[in-house]
């Protein structure tokens, strides 16, 4: 059976629309007309034989098939970007081992893309990865057991001893099931959540960081369940048993049971979750580690001498969503 492959432009327009939730915003992001986006998506759906989006008055939502197609389309585009930025000279130079400490959230939701980048751009580089709580990653760095750490840098309380590079910024939003009473709202305030059963994540200092946000707005959640499992909370919320507030980095539109999960922005300002790479200020980075930083962060990464602190954000900070779990 013959079929026509989608064009790169169609995939770009589709992914931009899926991420923004609005054709008008996707058109603005891509610097094209709304009709260009609409025509491209309609043609893509005709080729596939199924709908990618549910159309709404104020935007679009991915269908179940669309969510699966999005994961693969985003991967295809990321692979094409890697091909276009591949530096053959660096590929030949990138070798050796990097000892990496990561936290649980990073391990589950960011580490796979790190491995993907290394495999694409530095196949000769070996990663020795250890998962530990944030404080133990920091301790391991200071004791010389790790070369680098990838953690939620927004949770750091003692940043003076470390250089850092921000890799991803992710906003936190309200998660609710598709049948929740607030599903039709464009945004929600803490005041709307007073009587809602709340499911609380317990990984990576999440409860401590959320408590600071709650105090700022005078909110006291009715905690019905605490868990280290994001998937457990995702399933409970999607089934309509309660709510939670988590970062876009770990958001997925469907639970393991196939139930729809919605995100709603909060009116009340809430801190973002920032993922970053850190290393001790006093540490002279080995060549393999410096080159690994370049793979992670791009051309601004230090390539010689002692690494310097960087705070610039990547242009694709919302490529997978945005972060503090």
pLDDT band at 190 (very low <50, low <70, confident <90, very high): very high
Q: Tens digit of pLDDT for each residue in 282-294?
A: 788 888 898 898 8
Query: How distant is the alpha carbon of residue 190 from its chain centre?
Result: 24
**Looking at the chain, how many residues does it have?**
325
Report yes or no on whether pTM surpasses 0.85.
Answer: no
What span, in angstroms and rounded, lies between the C-alpha atoms of 106 and 167?
A: 11
pLDDT band at 199 (very low <50, low <70, confident <90, very high): very high
CATH fold of the domain at 8-84: Arc Repressor Mutant, subunit A (1.10.10)
Query: In the chain, which segments carry CATH 1.10.10.10?
Result: 8-84
CATH fold of the domain at 89-168+274-297: D-Maltodextrin-Binding Protein; domain 2 (3.40.190)
Query: In the chain, which segments carry CATH 3.40.190.10?
Result: 89-168+274-297, 172-264
What span, in angstroms and rounded, lies between the C-alpha atoms of 244 and 225?
A: 10
- Within the chain, strands assigned E span 53-56, 59-62, 96-102, 125-131, 148-152, 162-170, 172-177, 197-201, 222-227, 244-247, 261-264, 273-280
Say if residue 306's pLDDT is above 50. no
The CATH code belonging to domain 172-264 is 3.40.190.10
Long-range contacts made by residues 5-11, C-beta under 8 angstroms, separation at least 24?
A: 6/44, 6/47, 8/77, 8/80, 9/40, 10/40, 10/41, 10/43, 10/44, 11/73, 11/76, 11/77
Predicted local distance difference test score (pLDDT) of residue 85: 60
């Amino acid at each position: 059976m013959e079929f026509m492959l989608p064009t790169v432009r169609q995939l770009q327009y589709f992914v931009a629309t899926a991420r923004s939730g609005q054709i008008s915003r996707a058109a603005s992001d891509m610097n094209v007309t709304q009709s260009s986006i609409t025509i491209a998506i309609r043609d893509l759906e005709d080729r596939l034989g199924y709908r990618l989006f549910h159309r709404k008055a104020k935007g679009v939502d991915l269908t179940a098939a669309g969510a699966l197609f999005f994961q693969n389309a985003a991967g295809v585009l990321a692979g094409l970007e890697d091909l276009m930025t591949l530096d053959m000279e660096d590929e030949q130079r990138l070798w050796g081992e990097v000892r990496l400490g990561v936290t649980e959230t990073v391990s589950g939701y960011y580490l796979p893309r790190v491995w993907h980048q290394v495999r694409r751009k530095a196949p000769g580089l070996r990663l020795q990865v250890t998962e530990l709580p944030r404080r133990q990653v920091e301790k391991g760095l200071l004791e010389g057991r790790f070369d680098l750490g990838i953690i939620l840098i927004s949770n750091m309380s003692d940043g003076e001893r470390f250089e850092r590079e921000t890799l991803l910024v992710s906003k936190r939003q309200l998660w609710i099931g598709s049948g929740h009473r607030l599903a039709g709202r464009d945004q929600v305030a803490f005041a709307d959540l007073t009587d809602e059963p709340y499911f609380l994540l317990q990984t990576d200092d999440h409860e401590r960081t959320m408590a600071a946000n709650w105090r700022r707005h005078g909110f006291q959640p009715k905690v019905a369940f605490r868990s280290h499992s994001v998937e457990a909370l995702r399933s409970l919320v999607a089934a309509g048993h309660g709510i939670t507030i988590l970062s876009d980095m770990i958001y997925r539109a469907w639970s393991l049971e196939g139930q729809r999960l919605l995100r709603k922005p909060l009116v009340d300002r809430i801190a973002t979750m920032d993922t970053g790479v850190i290393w001790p200020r006093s540490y002279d980075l080995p060549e393999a580690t410096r080159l690994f930083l370049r793979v992670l962060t791009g051309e601004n990464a230090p390539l010689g001498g002692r690494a310097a602190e960087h705070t610039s954000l990547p242009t694709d900070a919302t490529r997978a969503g945005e972060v503090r779990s």
